[in-house]
Every structure is written in structure tokens, then in C-alpha cells.
Amino acid sequence: MKEFFFKKCGIAYRTNEFQAERLTLVFIHGLSGSASAWFPYEPLFEKRYNLLTFDLRGHGKSSKPRSYEEYELEKSADDLHELLAYLHIESFVLISHSYGTLVALEFLQAHQEKVSATIFLSPTAFLRKTKRFPLIRTLGRGLVALFDMFPLHPTIRERVDYSPYIPAGDWDLRRVPRDIYATSVRVYLYCLVQAYLWNCDEMWKRIGIPTLIMHGTTDSYIPVSHSVQLSKDIVGSKLVLLEHANHIIVLNNVAEVSRHIEAFLA
């Protein structure tokens, strides 16, 4: 895997050596994460597939826009579209985790014809039905307004090495602060509020390509029942429930997740 930087959108990304006859897999990480979440998957897939991983705007080694409006999910989806056009990628499988599933959903609304199949890991579906929604809607908006009163001095910090934090808990007091520091409190808040205030519940039903949904049964971020409902809304989708797994399945359940991805692609 090699590192690159797409100056037009300020996006850092990684690819292996692309071969025309191979299937291309595109990965989108979650909130306050980065491409490093997919590092364990690279040696498992890079000899059989073309791989593209990247840091969402404001995350990892990508640039940090200054305003709250710049973190709308549509703009992150546009970044991906521009990057794919730059790399001449016309068809691919889209794999996303957590917050990244919302970016993937936004991309699919505009460019579903480019995606041959999609895989949602711990999808953040139906956020407005969670107990946290009223708090984030009220408190989050207030904090966004407060932060907007002060200038942002964006600093690109790091991609977090997750190996010391595995197994990772949903609310791990070692991993979570490190993630937020790498992203910055402001960018984390901007993305979080954008996700919760975006009403996309009906958009899932418009997905018309092969879809795999994976969810941990002990996920404390998003109830597993949300993915059960999602599997009904996306006609023909396949649902895999990982017993005793939490929200961070991309780090904690690499062997299971990669095995189910391989089976689905086959």
C-alpha cells in the first residue's frame, strides 16, 4: 500500500497496485477514525483486490475545513466522487463503518450506478430514534454556535494506531480521547451533529444493489434492532449478526468481518 494526497479536495488516501482485471474495494471509516482502521484488512485483501482507503475531511491526514457547513455529509460524499474520478475508478464495492455508512448512503443517492455492491458495518441507521437524539439536537447546536464564534486553526495531527487498544470497548477511555484528539473536539462535534440532524431514514429504501449488513449484538451506540429494521427496508439485503460483538467490529472482529466480506463478494 502506498500513501498519496489528493490536493483538489485535501484528502489523504492509500492504494495498492491496481490491476484492471481485479475487483476494487473502497473503504470508508467511522467518526474520529481514519484509514488506519482498515490496516488489518490490507494484507488480507491486497493480493486479490484493488484497495482504496482514505481519510474523510477533518480526519487523519486529510485537511480540516473551518466551518460547520463544510462537514455536511454530502460534501464528504463529493470528496469521494472527486477522488474516484481522479483515480479513474468506474465500478467498485463500497465498504463502510459507523458514521462512514452515512457518507456511503449519501454517495449512493447520487452515484449508485457506480457501485456494484455495498457493505454496511455497524450502520448508524435511524439516529433520530436513539435516546441521545434530543440531547445532541439541543446541546450540539448550542456548542456548534459557540465554536463558530472563534477562529479555527486547523492542524493535521495523526492517524491513530489502534493495536494497543484492542479489544476496544465502545466507550473505551483509552481509545476515544485519542481519537477525538486526532480529529479535534471541534471537528468531532461538527460531524456528530451533522449526522444526528440529517434525516435519511427513507433514503435506505432506495438502495437497489446487493447489500450486506453486519452488526454486533451488544452494540451500545446503535441498537442491533436498527440493523434488523434496515435489512427489511433494503430489499434483498443480507444481515449478519455478530454475537457478543460491540460497535467497533472493524477492530475487534477482523477475522469474522473479513470472512463474511469474502463470502459476500464470492
pLDDT in tens, 215-251: 999 999 999 999 999 999 999 999 999 999 999 999 9
Domain that holds residue 247: 2-265
Q: Where are the beta strands (DSSP E) in 46-201?
A: 50-54, 92-97, 115-121
How high does pLDDT run on average in the chain? Answer: 95
Neighbour count for residue 263 (Cβ, 10 Å): 11
Burial of 7 (0-12, 13-18, 19+ CB in 10 A): exposed
Q: What is the percent of the chain where pLDDT is above 70?
A: 100
pLDDT in tens, 68-88: 999 999 999 999 999 999 999
Q: Write out the DSSP string of 171-229.
A: T-TTHHHHHHHHH-HHHHHHHHHHHHH---TTGGGG--S-EEEEEETT-SSS-HHHHHH
pLDDT in tens, 139-177: 888 888 888 777 777 777 789 999 999 999 999 999 999
Residue 30, domain CATH: 3.40.50.1820
The DSSP bridge pattern shows strands 115-121 and 50-54 to be: unpaired
- Number of structural domains (the chain) is 1
pLDDT in tens, 90-133: 999 999 999 999 999 999 999 999 999 999 999 999 999 998 89
pLDDT reported for residue 265: 96
